[in-house]
Amino acid sequence: MAADHHSTPPLLQLDDLVVDIPGRPDGAALRLAVRPGQCWGVLGPNGAGKSTLLHTLAGLRPARRGGLRLDGHPMEDLPRHRIARHLGMVFQDQQDGFPATVLETALIGRHPYLRPWEMESAADYAAAQSALERTGLSGLEDRPIATLSGGERQRLAIATALTQDPRVFLLDEPTNHLDLHHQVEVLDIVRRLVTHGRGALLTMHDVNLTARYCDHLLLMYPNGDACWGPTRDMLVPRALERLYGQPLAVGQVDGMPVFLPRGTEREDAAPVQSRQNDPSTPARHKDAPAP
């Protein structure tokens, strides 16, 4: 499936997309494509606009410039329920106004597939059940969501997206509120979806987990710059240090680089100095426009 993916239109294509962050000058125009089998990680410091980017990609807010194509179709030509079958979004925070059970919550993922008069069928319930199973929530079907732990809630949000069964998963910090084991579990789920021909784009804070699970990275700098490409090209210590404004120590685990933040005081003062004397610029993807 992944072999001939360049012959088919990408699942999600960003055509010189400039995200609209109110009160800020234009950031980099993003020109990238999420293809079947690809998992994109979006890294950047707080406030760099990662969530805004995801909301823009999901069609929930207008872009400042540029456009989006789903399977080659411009997004603005598609009705909302078609977009919802193609793109699934998991938000950072789930709000619950009214009491609801776990199963009911997962089941709303079927909404884009049902006609107005249609009630959920046995197949829809089965889809929700299977999503709960895959996220380790089976047995909790009748629990009110208000009684769930933060981690269970996060997995339920992912289960709702699994029930929605979109081609591209947009996940805003899916490992938030999760312990190490459940972080890995969630990322394993995403990985499995991707190997089955879906695409994924997730914002993350953990550089090392992102490096392990994502095959492509998009780095969003606080000044609006961005660079993107295959993970192995993007894991440049200086680029990451500039990204977070934070000196990093680099090691090796299982043949992969591992990045750890260095303290900025005491014995680490010297490396910080040398970094500042040698300002590095982020590695740019070859077709990224010059700043």
DSSP per residue over 176-216, as a string? Answer: TT--HHHHHHHHHHHHHHHHTT-EEEEE-S-HHHHHHH-SE
Among residues 5, 85, 143, 182, which is the contact residue for other proteins, using CB under 8 A?
85
Residue 22 CB, nearest approach to other proteins (Å)? 11
Residue 99 CB, nearest approach to other proteins (Å)? 7
Interface with other proteins, residue 119, by CB under 8 A: yes
Residues 170 and 87: beta-carbon distance below 8 Å: yes
CA 160 to chain centre: 16
Among residues 94, 130, 138, 208, which is the contact residue for other proteins, using CB under 8 A?
94
Interface with other proteins, residue 60, by CB under 8 A: yes
Interface with other proteins, residue 117, by CB under 8 A: yes
End-to-end Cα, the chain, rounded Å: 36
Among residues 19, 30, 58, 200, which is the contact residue for other proteins, using CB under 8 A?
58
Segment lying near other proteins (by CB under 8 A), choices 92-100, 124-132, 133-141, 184-192: 92-100
Interface with other proteins, residue 91, by CB under 8 A: yes
Interface with other proteins, residue 80, by CB under 8 A: yes
Residues 210 and 204: beta-carbon distance below 8 Å: yes
Name which of 100 and 258 has its Cβ closer to other proteins. 100
- The CA-CA-CA angle for residues 128, 133, 202, to 5°, reads 80
Among residues 56, 135, 164, 183, which is the contact residue for other proteins, using CB under 8 A?
164
Q: Binding pattern to other proteins, positions 15-34, x when CB under 8 A? A: --------------------
Cβ atoms < 10 Å from Cβ of 275: 16
> For residues 200 and 192, what is the distance between their CA atoms, to the nearest angstrom?
11
Interface with other proteins, residue 122, by CB under 8 A: no
Three-class SS state of 60: coil
Name which of 150 and 263 has its Cβ closer to other proteins. 150
The contacts of residue 207 (CB under 8 Å, 6+ apart) are: 43, 240, 259
Segment lying near other proteins (by CB under 8 A), choices 5-13, 63-71, 113-121, 131-139: 113-121
